[in-house]
Structure 1
Amino acid sequence: MTEQAGPRTVTIRDVARLAGVSTSTVSRVLDDRHPPSTSPSAERVRAAAAELGYRPDAYASGLRRQHTGTVGVLVPRLSDTVMAVFFEEVARACARQAGFAMVATTEDRPEAEKATVETLLRQRVDGLILTTARLEDPVAAQLRAQGVPHVLALRTDHISPSATGDDELGGYLATRHLLDLGHRNIALVAGPSYASTAVARQAGYRRAMTEAGIHEVDHLVHESTFGMDSGETVARAILADPDRPTAIFAVNDNTAIGVLAAAQAAGLSVPEDLSVVGYNDIPVSARLPVALTTVRVPFDQIAANAVELLTQQRTGALGEPRRVVTPTLIPRQSTARPPATGIARGRRKPQERPGRMPT
């Protein structure tokens, strides 16, 4: 079902029209940095603003802000390694232009995003880089309406300027790797449907499976969050199925680590009983007891693209509004050919699992 559009945002043009003054007068009267005026026109402006429900906010002030060399970066949480790594890359990209990046978190809660954006804009940042975008994101829509320079990074809403990886290709590469090893019963821990990254990686998975002649995959796709706990919970259910898969592609490395934990709990050896592929290639992936096969995302390139797109908006030189970089499959120890036909795939005793995760 399509959601009903919310009420139209009241702008300073609406206030100016009702008060019978110019937009610059409205901007000056409602700017709390200026001494309050008691002139008749100022009174009309305040009355019009109250009648229309207009509230001056950080979005509008962004249009009047002078260059400060500071970029605001919005992330769901810094405890997520991907977000921490990406912010560090943005900070480096800003430093190369003698700029500075500051970060704020939202815990991936939409209701917190608008307030966090306003807080960053009150710090007089030149623009915003948001990794929190959801499909049909109202915050991105409001930023566009107010003309605030911003770039969506890692995720996109397919409208605002964005810097991302080719997630559809990455999902395809991960699944193709498992198919090339001989797997056919491949489950997907798919991530949340509101995130473009998860949607695109699932599309890549489905394309690879279709090319292999496997058309019925809905029963193999399991929605999750991006966290380890969710990956483990979903994988426990997947592995409890009597016709459990021989391989799992997880939407990111965190959920893949959760899958590894679930495999250990089920008494399965990785990769002898179950192959696992993650996504992002966070630093820990190569250092796990069973090194994780994953898809490497060039976060440094995405960060550089995001900063460049933001600079182009500020200077009025915006070219191609969407930058997409290519991911790379990194095969490691967590994937192998599936168990031979006819060999029982049951529980093993812990001492019989040479590649099991530590307790």
Structure 2
Amino acid sequence: MGARPAVTLKALAAELGLNPSTVSRVLNDPRGLGSRWASPDTTERIFALAEERGYRKNPYAASLRTAKSHMIGVVVPRLQDYVLATMYEGIDEAASEHGYFTVVSNSLDDPAAHRAKAEKLLDRRADGLIFGDALFEDPFLDELADRGVAFTLVSRRSPGHRSVTCDDYTGGRLVAEHLVASGRRSFGLIAGDPRASTSIDRCAGFLDALAEHGLGVDPSRVAPGGFDASAGSAAAARILAAGPLPEAVFAVNDFAAIGALGVLTREGISVPEDTALVGFNDTPLAGSVGLTTVRSPMHRIGRQGFELLMDVLDGKDVESVRLPPELVVRTST
């Protein structure tokens, strides 16, 4: 059985014996049944028939009249990542409260896909964009800014562009101070993706704080890669192959830390007795395995990223926001 044709404003107006513009004004009036565009009886008749006939507003027609789609495009590396998924929940929650809806797309941290997905969202009349996959050096963001496209960044920052992030540098410092205070003096660093500010800032904070104590990390024990468990496993294997076991390992992401934990366990290395292990973000899995980590306010980052975009769309002069991290000490240290 075929789908019923959509009910139009003109069809409703004809059945009611009213002018289509009157029906349109009543149905689009945010006061609903309290609309002043028609008498109470007429307003009630309009809404009753619209409900009976299954009338739905046409958002595309409305966007042509108002030049706004009330749609926000969101680009993330991968939505299966708990951190980005939680931030997206915050974005979508705030969007709903403002009468917007969101469309999310994955770039897999590929610069070409990052560009292509954003352009497709703009082609579909997105009012603005939120990027969770920005690279620290990101020429495409400079292009968008030159074109006057409204956008904000979440999770990662890029110089010259508005963002809402955790204060990742401070988070890295918190890890170093905790490990030094617990007596550790040699370290391994699972450094994540060197293109992302999350890796850059967390590593910088960690290394700077160690340097203030006259300590450092041997370059052979700094292992960049990705943010998932497999990348953490590979990085941990490289650190172990580089020489004596470090007294502590800092992974700039919980999932990378959990991948490292698997390698340490397979090698018969006890955590924290033989080496301490710290992650970053405080995902639920971190708590379940007793991982010391740095709590990032993921949901709040998403909400504030959307609010910042609303300010940008309103033409306000706004600055980037860095939210404070919190060290969560568990059994792995």
TM-score normalised per structure 1: 0.72
Which residue pairs with 1:223 in the alignment? 224
Per-residue CA deviation, residues 97-143 of structure 1 (Å, 9 max, x unaligned), is 22222210011101111110011112222100001111220221111
Counterpart of 1:295, as a letter, is: V
d(CA) in 2 for partners of 1:198 and 1:267?
Answer: 28
Q: How does 1:196-275 map to 2 (within 5 A)?
A: 196-215=197-216, 217-275=218-276
d(CA) in 1 for partners of 2:331 and 2:321?
Answer: 32
Residue 216 of structure 1, CA deviation? 5.9
Q: SS at the partner of 1:107?
A: coil
Q: Which runs of 5+ in 2 are unaligned?
A: 1-64
Asked whether the 8 Å contact 1:65–1:124 carries over to 2, the reply is: no
Which residue pairs with 1:85 in the alignment? 86
Which residue pairs with 1:305 in the alignment? 304
Counterpart of 2:181, as a letter, is: D
Counterpart of 2:310, as a letter, is: T
Per-residue CA deviation, residues 248-298 of structure 1 (Å, 9 max, x unaligned), is 00010010011101101111111111211000111211112xx11110001
Structure number, greater radius of gyration: 2
Which residue pairs with 1:325 in the alignment? 323
Q: Which runs of 5+ in 1 are unaligned?
A: 1-63, 336-359
d(CA) in 2 for partners of 1:314 and 1:90?
Answer: 15
d(CA) in 2 for partners of 1:207 and 1:185?
Answer: 15
d(CA) in 1 for partners of 2:115 and 2:97?
Answer: 29
d(CA) in 1 for partners of 2:129 and 2:66?
Answer: 13
Structure 1 residue 174 corresponds to structure 2 residue 179: no
d(CA) in 1 for partners of 2:217 and 2:280?
Answer: 23
Which residue pairs with 2:29 in the alignment? none
d(CA) in 2 for partners of 1:142 and 1:241?
Answer: 42
d(CA) in 1 for partners of 2:151 and 2:128?
Answer: 5
Asked whether the 8 Å contact 2:278–2:291 carries over to 1, the reply is: yes
d(CA) in 2 for partners of 1:114 and 1:173?
Answer: 35
CA distance change for structure 1 residues 186 and 111 in 2, over 3 Å: closer, same or farther? same
Residue 218 of structure 1, CA deviation? 2.9
d(CA) in 2 for partners of 1:302 and 1:79?
Answer: 18
Residue 206 of structure 1, CA deviation? 0.8
What's the C-alpha RMSD, in Å, of the aligned pairs?
A: 1.7
Which segment drifts farther, 218-227 or 121-130? 218-227
d(CA) in 1 for partners of 2:325 and 2:88?
Answer: 19
Moved over 6 A (4+): none
d(CA) in 2 for partners of 1:158 and 1:235?
Answer: 31
Q: How does 1:101-250 map to 2 (within 5 A)?
A: 101-215=102-216, 217-250=218-251
Asked whether the 8 Å contact 1:75–1:130 carries over to 2, the reply is: yes
CA distance change for structure 1 residues 131 and 247 in 2, over 3 Å: closer, same or farther? same
Which residue pairs with 2:69 in the alignment? 68
d(CA) in 2 for partners of 1:65 and 1:227?
Answer: 43
Which structure shows the higher helix fraction? 2
Asked whether the 8 Å contact 1:239–1:266 carries over to 2, the reply is: no
Task: Count the aligned residue pairs.
Answer: 270
Counterpart of 1:250, as a letter, is: A
Per-residue CA deviation, residues 278-334 of structure 1 (Å, 9 max, x unaligned), is 00111211112xx11110001122112211211111111232x21110110000111
d(CA) in 1 for partners of 2:239 and 2:222?
Answer: 10
CA distance change for structure 1 residues 216 and 122 in 2, over 3 Å: closer, same or farther? closer
Q: How does 1:256-295 map to 2 (within 5 A)?
A: 256-288=257-289, 291-295=290-294
Residue 210 of structure 1, CA deviation? 0.6
